[in-house]
Homo-oligomer: A and B are copies of this chain.
Amino acid sequence: MIQIPLDVAPEHRSTYARHMETVTQASDRIMLFAGDQKVEHLNADFYGEGISEEDNNPEHMFAIASKARIGAFATQLGLLAHYGMDYKDIPYIVKLNSKTNLVKTTQAEPQSSKWLGVDQVMEFKKNSNLPIVGVGYTVYLGSEYESDMLQEAARIVYHAHVNGLISVLWMYPRGKAVIDEKDPHIIAGAAGVGATLGADFVKVNYPSAGSAGSQQAGSGQVQKRAELLREAVAAAGRTKLICAGGEKEDVPTFLQTLYDQIHIGGTSGNATGRNIHQRPLEEAVRFANAIAAVTFDN
User: Which A residues are closer than 8 A to B by beta carbons?
Assistant: 3-10, 36, 38-39, 42-44, 46-47, 56-59, 75-85, 98-100, 102-104, 107-108, 111-116, 120, 123-124, 127-130, 141-144, 146-148, 150-151, 153-155, 157-158, 161-162, 173, 175-178, 185-186, 188-190, 192-193, 195-199, 231, 234-235, 237-239
Contacts and interface: CB of A to CB of B under 8 A. Distances in A.
Copies in the complex: 5
B115 A151 contact: yes
Contacts of A153: 115
A58 B113 contact: no
- The list of the 10 closest CB pairs from A to B, nearest first, reads A42-B189, A78-B198, A115-B154, A102-B142, A6-B128, A58-B237, A76-B196, A5-B81, A38-B192, A43-B189
Contacts of A77: 7, 154, 158, 198
B7 A127 contact: yes
A144 to B, nearest CB: 5
Contact of A98 (B104, B113, B142, B196): B196
Contacts of A83: 237-238
Nearest to A60: B237
